[in-house]
């Protein structure tokens, strides 16, 4: 009996040593990560240590990139198969970047593809933060960001005070209550002028019929976005200028994610009359 127990104890000890060694090896060799587009960049730069990022997209340093200050010397690439394979990544993160053929070829070479889901509220953003954190092997980073995220939500001041508000872009589009923009404006204390769901087009003629207390604007400072668009119409400009304007940060509108809460918190702290 003693010999039987001795054999099993030795087996358990050996298994424990092997498991510990494997864990240590995984810790010392974290997965190398590449992101394929501007929105995926935010998740990778926000969660993955710089040393473990093989590359980000060539959009990572644009003004609308929230974490652009973290790029540093990280390589920036376009979504070309040969370029990505040369980096030997373990994980590729994407939202809209990379076509189906590229993704299939990467998977054929053993690369794990993590596709970020669209989120339409901060509750969904929280869940996606944790999911992607797990997928890229950074659950601890996700928990840290989640704590910061919750603090930002709690600190958003009520600057709307129940006033009605209408979101409007240069292209003539607005947003309903089931969008991230709708959630942002509601958390800021505003009441949406329209309950139409999703993103929808407002012609200049329809704009004349809307009487919000405030207009929420984004991308009007983008020279490219302002080319030959409804937002340049004198009629539209007159309507917009007749009421207070809340300027939403372009980078908070460019990609939906937990990190947009930081800009919305800052916006609320600036105050609004």
What is the DSSP secondary structure assignment for residue 97, as one 8-state letter? Answer: -
Average pLDDT over every residue of 260-266: 98
Residues above pLDDT 90, as percent of the chain:
77
Closest CA to 164 of 265, 263, 246: 246
Which option is the CATH number for 164-270: 3.40.50.970, 3.30.1950.10, 3.40.50.1980, 3.90.1410.10?
A: 3.40.50.1980
Residue with the two structure tokens 């105050």? 271
Report the distance separating Cα 242 and Cα 244, nearest Å. Answer: 7
Return the CATH number of the domain spanning residue range 33-116.
3.40.50.1980
- List, for residues 66-105, the tens digit of each pLDDT value: 999 999 999 999 999 999 999 999 999 999 999 999 999 9
Q: Rounded to whole angstroms, what are the CA distances from 273 to 187, 191, 214, 264?
A: 16, 15, 10, 16
Q: What is the pLDDT of residue 17?
A: 39
Q: Where are the domains of the chain?
A: 33-116, 164-270
Q: 175 and 181 in contact (C-beta within 8 Å)?
A: yes
The better pLDDT of the pair 28, 86 is held by: 86
> Same fold for the domain at 33-116 and the one at 164-270?
yes
What is the DSSP secondary structure assignment for residue 77, as one 8-state letter? Answer: E
Number of CB atoms found within 10 A of residue 202's CB: 22
Q: 170 and 250 in contact (C-beta within 8 Å)?
A: no
The better pLDDT of the pair 50, 171 is held by: 50
What is the DSSP secondary structure assignment for residue 45, as one 8-state letter? Answer: H
Q: What is the pLDDT of residue 3?
A: 43
Report the distance separating Cα 70 and Cα 50, nearest Å. Answer: 8
């Amino acid at each position: 009996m003693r010999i039987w127990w001795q054999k099993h104890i030795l087996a358990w000890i050996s298994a424990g040593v092997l498991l510990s060694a494997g864990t240590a090896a995984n810790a010392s060799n974290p997965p190398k990560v590449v992101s394929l587009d501007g929105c995926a960049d935010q998740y990778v730069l926000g969660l993955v240590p710089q040393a473990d990022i093989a590359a980000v997209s060539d959009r990572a340093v644009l003004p609308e990139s929230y974490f652009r200050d973290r790029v540093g010397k990280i390589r920036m690439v376009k979504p070309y198969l040969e370029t990505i394979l040369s980096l030997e990544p373990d994980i590729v993160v994407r939202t809209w970047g990379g076509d189906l053929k590229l993704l299939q070829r990467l998977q054929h070479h053993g690369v794990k593809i993590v596709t970020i889901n669209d989120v339409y509220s901060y509750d969904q953003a929280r869940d996606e933060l944790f999911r992607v954190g797990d997928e890229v092997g950074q659950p601890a980073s996700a928990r840290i960001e989640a704590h910061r995220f919750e603090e930002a939500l709690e600190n958003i001041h009520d600057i709307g005070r129940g006033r009605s508000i209408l979101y409007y872009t240069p292209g003539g589009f607005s947003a309903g209550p089931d969008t991230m923009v709708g959630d942002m404006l509601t958390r800021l204390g505003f009441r949406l002028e329209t309950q139409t769901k999703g993103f929808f087009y407002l012609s200049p003629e329809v704009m004349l019929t809307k009487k919000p207390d405030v207009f929420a604007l984004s991308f009007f400072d983008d020279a490219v976005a302002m080319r030959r668009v409804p937002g340049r119409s004198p009629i539209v400009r007159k309507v917009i200028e007749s009421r207070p304007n809340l300027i939403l940060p372009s980078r908070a509108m460019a990609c939906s994610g937990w990190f947009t809460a930081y800009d919305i918190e800052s916006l609320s702290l600036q105050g609004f009359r």
